[in-house]
Amino acid sequence: MHPKLKLCSFIIFLHLPASCDTLANASQLKKNWQFEYFLHCGKAIKNYRRMPDNLSPAWLNELKIGIVANGDKYWHHLYNFPQVSVSFYHGSLGSEKVLGQNFAIIPGVTFNTWKNRPWQVHTSIGAGLAYFSKPFDQETNFDNRAIGSSVTAMATAGLYVDYNLARHMDFMLGASVIHCSNGHYQVPNYGLNLPSVMLGLRYRPNKVYCFVGQKPDYLPRGPLKYNIRAGLGAHEFAGTDIPTVEAKWAVYTADFYVSKRYGPVSNVHCGLAVKYYNGFYNKIKQDELYLKNQHLKAGVLTLFLAYELMIHKFSLVAQAGIDVYNPFYHHWFALTHSGKNISYFLESVTSTRVGVQYYLFDPKMNASNNVFIGTYVKANFGTADFVGINTGLVF
């Protein structure tokens, strides 16, 4: 780690309590505020051939500002009074020359998994945007195949314990995983994966948190709902490792599925997804691959199952499916992946998707009709395919 970054981390660590106290007083302590500082230390996983072998340890500073749920919303009780927060990251990724530095803003949620004072166990998840100072460049930074653009998505997950040091202060120790990718919007895009050890301090302006309200009754299993979802994505048509000068290509999506609620936090989907790739069609026309039904050959049909974790009007969606119709990809796969292992084949037949949705009306009310919007990353067996946005109806 650069000496200046080390000094910056140490100064932030020492001055955090005083700075947080000032901010808390300004807000008149109307909420259960928490202010946390973490230092993440790890090493980026080498996931492509040209990645430097002599990477130094990565050091990331995280300043987290959060509010602990106080119970005035029903979902606070369902998730055992979680913390909703926003984190600010900055640090070195182990190679100033190739990977550069990282800056990120990450909204997140922290859950209390086990409580037994003075020790507590927590899990945290977050997703946001990151800026990289040294992305891939054809002329000046050819070895950075992990990050192909200055701005990427960044997802984090952590598991840590805390120990109460004083009435306002906790010490924290745990492990985290950080993943950065632009969703194949600009290649090369192997993505950056950073497992790390994390240690930190938490400052709590309130001596005792204030909790209100009563735990709500659990929802019974809901009836089947019908859903229609339409979306627009974008990507570059190229392999993960191959730079391209081609334009960004649009991907049009339409999903038809049924969903069923199981209790207040779980929603299960089953349905059919249709995708049309402009990039596929352009390649078909360019190489004269098919004489008939060229538009049809640029389409993909997928059967899928999904799980949706409901958090008030927001939800996290994880989806997995099988491509039952994907003629162009199979043709392209046969031409470009001859002799490769099973993982390359799985990329040609599997479809995964992870995203976030926001509902206009609270899904807990189980209204007959609802509207939602969302954003997501679609992948082929873990390899990013495209990033997109969508909107849909529930009826």
Q: Write down the pLDDT at residue 259.
A: 95
Per-residue confidence (pLDDT) for residue 26, from 0 to 100: 36
Neighbours of 254 (CB within 10 A): 15
Distance (Å, whole) CA 249 – CA 244: 12
Residue 133: both structure tokens together = 């100072």
| Confidence band, pLDDT 50/70/90 cuts, at residue 116 | low
Domain CATH code at residue 12:
2.40.160.20
Phi then psi for 183, rounded to 5 degrees?
65, 30
pLDDT at residue 230 tops 80: yes
Residue among 86, 80, 378 at smallest CA distance from 233: 378
Residue 42 has pLDDT above 50, yes or no: yes
User: Helices (H) and strands (E) in the chain — how many of each?
Assistant: 6, 16
Indicate whether 89 pLDDT > 90: yes
Per-residue buried b or exposed e for 85-100, using 16+ beta carbons within 10 Å of the residue's own CB: bebebbbbbbbeebbb
pLDDT band at 338 (very low <50, low <70, confident <90, very high): low
Q: How far apart are CA 165 and CA 169, in angstroms?
A: 6
Residues 14 and 109 in one domain: yes
In the predicted model, is pLDDT for residue 269 greater than 60? yes
Do 348 and 239 lie in one domain? The reply is yes
Kindly report, residue by residue over 58-69, the tens digit of the pLDDT: 999 999 999 998
The mean pLDDT value for 14-27 works out to 40
| 193 lies in the same domain as 294 | no
Task: Spell 298-335 as b/e; 16+ CB within 10 A means b.
Answer: bbbebebebebebebbbbbbebebebeebbbbebbbee
Closest to 38 in 3D by CA, of 152, 151, 194, 203? 203
Q: Quick check: helix, strand or coil at residue 393? A: strand
Q: Are residue 232 and residue 360 in the same domain, yes or no?
A: yes
Q: Which helix (H) or strand (E) holds 345?
A: helix 342-349
Is residue 72 domain-resident?
Answer: yes
Say what the pLDDT of residue 268 is.
Answer: 96
The parent domain of residue 388 ranges over 225-394
Q: Considering the domain boundaries, does residue 251 fall inside one?
A: yes
Are 318 and 355 in contact, with CB atoms under 8 Å apart? no
Distance from C-alpha of 357 to C-alpha of 313, rounded to nearest angstrom: 8
User: CATH number of the domain that 273 lies in?
Assistant: 2.40.160
Strand partners, 109: 84, 125
* Together in a domain, 140 and 261: no
| CB contact at 8 A, 360 and 331 | no
Structurally, the chain folds into a number of domains equal to: 2
Q: Is residue 184 part of a domain?
A: yes
- Give the residues across from 112 on adjacent strands: 122
Please write the tens of the pLDDT for every residue from 210-225: 666 666 665 656 789 9
Q: Give CA–CA dist 303/326, Å, rounded.
A: 12
263-287 burial by CB neighbour count: b if 16+ within 10 A, else e? Answer: ebbebebebebebbbbbbbebbeee
Q: How confident is the model at residue 16 (pLDDT cuts 50, 70, 90)?
A: very low
145 shares its domain with 50:
yes
Q: How much of the chain exceeds pLDDT 90, in percent?
A: 53
- C-alpha to C-alpha distance for 329 and 335, rounded to whole angstroms: 10
Q: Confirm whether 74 is domain-assigned.
A: yes
Q: How far apart are CA 254 and CA 327, in angstroms?
A: 18
Q: What is the biggest distance separating any 2 CA atoms in the chain, rounded to whole angstroms?
A: 75
Q: Between helices 278-287 and 327-336, what is the axis angle to 10°? A: 60
Domain match, 237 and 274 both: yes
CA distance 263 to 243: 47
Residue in the structure block whose two tokens are 């974790």 = 309
Q: Does residue 220 fall inside a structural domain?
A: no
Q: Please provide the size of the chain in residues.
A: 395
| Helix, strand, coil percent content, the chain, rounded in steps of 5 | 15, 50, 35
Question: What integer is the mean pLDDT of 131-148?
Answer: 90
Last residue of a domain, one of 203, 233, 253: 203
Residue 195 placed within a domain: yes
pTM for this entry: 0.81
Q: How far is CA 57 from the centre of its chain?
A: 23
| 234 in the same domain as 289 | yes
Residue with tokens 């640090």: 91
